[in-house]
Amino acid sequence: MIKLLKHVFHPIKINELILPNRIMMGSMHVGLEALDHGMERLAAFYAERAKGGVGLIVTGGAAVCPEGGAGEGFTNVYADEHIEKLRLLPEAVHREGGRIALQLFHSGRYAYKHKTGLDPVAPSPLQATINRDAPIEMDAELIERTIEAYVQAARRTKTAGFDAIEIMGSEGYLINQFLSPVTNKRTDEWGGDFERRARFGVEIMKRVRKEVGCEYPVIFRMSGIDLMPDTTTLEETISFAKLLEDAGADLLNIGIGWHESQVPTISMMVPRASYVWVAKMIKDAVSLPVVASNRINDVRLADKVLAEGQSDMVSMARPFLADPYILTKSGFGQFDRVNTCIACNQACLDHIFEDKPASCLVNPLAGREYDLSIEKTDQPKKVAVVGAGPAGLEAARVLAERGHQVWLYEKNDKLGGQLTFACQVPGKIEFLETIRYYETELRRLCVTIRLGESICEEELQSVGIDEVVIAAGVTPRVPSIPGIDLPHVVRYTDVFTGKVKVGERVAVIGAGGIACDLSHLLLTNTSLSADTGQYLGQYGILAPQMFATFQQSKRSITLLRRGKHVGTGLGKTTRWALLSLLKKHGVVMKTRIDYSRITEEGVVYIENGEEHLLPADTIIIAAGSTSNQEWRNILSAERIVHLIGGAKEAGELDAKRAIREGMEVALSI
């Protein structure tokens, strides 16, 4: 391994368990258990990450009680019959030379009754904002039974062959609910002052330690900061860490935020490593090792965190969805080859909240390891890929990886397609990482790239192309509205490409994901960078609140839509944050309207049967898309053609579907 990452690759000992490096794959529930051969699928998923050399894998949560999990489609550890099923996971990981911990889990008031068939339970009968079911208050007897359930789950975990245990006490789950005054209103020995609120978690830690013995590694995932009003204070959090140390914890893994918090913690808009200071605060207060987490998606950044003494280990969860080999590649200095997690949430967290198995937008093989792999073909072909957006890029990459000769045609002068639009939106610069990854891989795989060129049947014949993959994307849909051809009416693509100057009063026809992202871009004054703000604040030139005001462009923006909902096409777990931001900065959202006409003054729309004029200097059309059909007039009718991405089905821009279809078509040729 290269010296640049000497901190990451320095071994660490957790109790008697020696880890070869300081990177942990943090816990993620991926939902594979609910499928046929679910545990085998989960084992294949973890085994692939073990091949990548991660120091320690922590599984998704395993329910210690039936009422604290999510039914049979969840990993469970509350009965002895679960031991043999669970054994598949450490066996698969150990075959690849890895190490794995099982996370002991109880949802508390976050548990869904329609999944468990049981009422959720909690320290107090307070309903969570993200659950339609109110919990039952736990009595003293149930509290004792639940603590014992953790103890027996620990015994089963050790028997099943796992290398360690992690106790889940963060993210607003049951142990966290006992600790926080937001959710614990009890006045008995399990609630009230800090010591009594802390007792539940501390007792679990003590009794689990006694059960598994002094040499078996036990990790406690504690909440470093809840990001909830009137919750546990930072002083109390530090005190809780000390109590856990005294109770026998070997490692503290620091979680950030609750699922119902109104502060984004893991989405793309959160700057990288924003929360390592929390781990540092706890590390300074205890003598046992501490793990930092949240939005650390580059091993070089992890090495920096360790070098600065912010933590003793770094948890990187979703980055191992995006690239199981992120650590191996980085260890050999192949940073450009890493398929970086962009924190989009679209195929991981969004899928879980939609009761779908998790995957990854930039790596659709994630979660499909049991069924799919990229194998060399025994019949190499010459394949042309038309369009270098996400669908075409993935198709070209996988085709070349399999041994086909690939020609990639892109009529624009750079790769990326509409990903180049996305990375312009504030908080979405991570999409540049995806473009960089594809550029690197296509060069490595010797794909012939033709930028600024459209396809030509004569050239395809001269090259001897066998099959053609059409990934030509979409074109903006232009609705039929009188006045749509006036000069101050422009398409969203013209704004992203800088072809037009946008005025101060903006009307956007359409209110889907593209319109919302475009509004965010137009709100921002890019002439003042974050570095400028830091400088101005450091010398007292501009207060932070005033700087935030200067960062806004002062444009008035109104989104118009015939339908009811704004932001369709945005991810379930990120939509709320963007809509909240837009509203905060004055973006007006008018739904259930109809269009009468466009005039030189603006848009005349109909609401509740009455006409209204919305004055506008610039009117932007962002009302959906249609499939690009230009190729049909160029290619011979005899050509073997495969349609993917927007060329196959238009609609809201969907990089997740596009990349998945790119992979699938490349595996089929």
DSSP string, 527-592: TS-HHHHHHHHHTTSS-HHHHHHHTB---EEEEE-SSS-SSTTS-TTTHHHHHHHHHHTT-EEE-S
**Separation of alpha carbons 429 and 38, rounded Å:** 36
- Cβ-based neighbours of 100, under 8 Å, separated by 6 or more: 46, 50, 56, 57, 58, 59, 89, 90, 93, 94, 162, 163, 164
**Separation of alpha carbons 76 and 62, rounded Å:** 5
Q: Report the Cα 640 to chain-centroid distance in Å.
A: 36
Is the distance from CB of 507 to CB of 620 less than 8 angstroms?
yes
Q: Report the Cα 233 to chain-centroid distance in Å.
A: 28
Residue given tokens 């070209």 in the structure block? 396
Is the distance from CB of 337 to CB of 344 less than 8 angstroms?
no
Q: What is the CA radius of gyration of the chain?
A: 27
Strand partners, 221: 168, 253
- DSSP-assigned letter for residue 609: T
Q: Of residues 173, 275, 370, 438, which has the active-site annotation?
A: 173
Residue 485, both tokens = 């051809």
Residue given tokens 């996988």 in the structure block? 398
CA distances from 297 to 144, 267, 327, 335 (A): 40, 12, 11, 12
- Cβ-based neighbours of 548, under 8 Å, separated by 6 or more: none
Strand partners, 308: none
Give me the amino acid identity at 232: T
Is the distance from CB of 492 to CB of 535 less than 8 angstroms?
no
**Separation of alpha carbons 38 and 430, rounded Å:** 32
Q: Could you give the angle at the alpha carbon of 642 between the alpha carbons of 636 and 643, nearest 5°? A: 105
- Cβ-based neighbours of 31, under 8 Å, separated by 6 or more: 73, 351, 352, 355, 356, 357, 358
What region does 171 belong to: left with phi over 0, alpha with psi -120 to 50, or beta? Answer: left
Is 173 assigned a catalytic role? yes
Q: Which residues are known to be catalytic?
A: 173
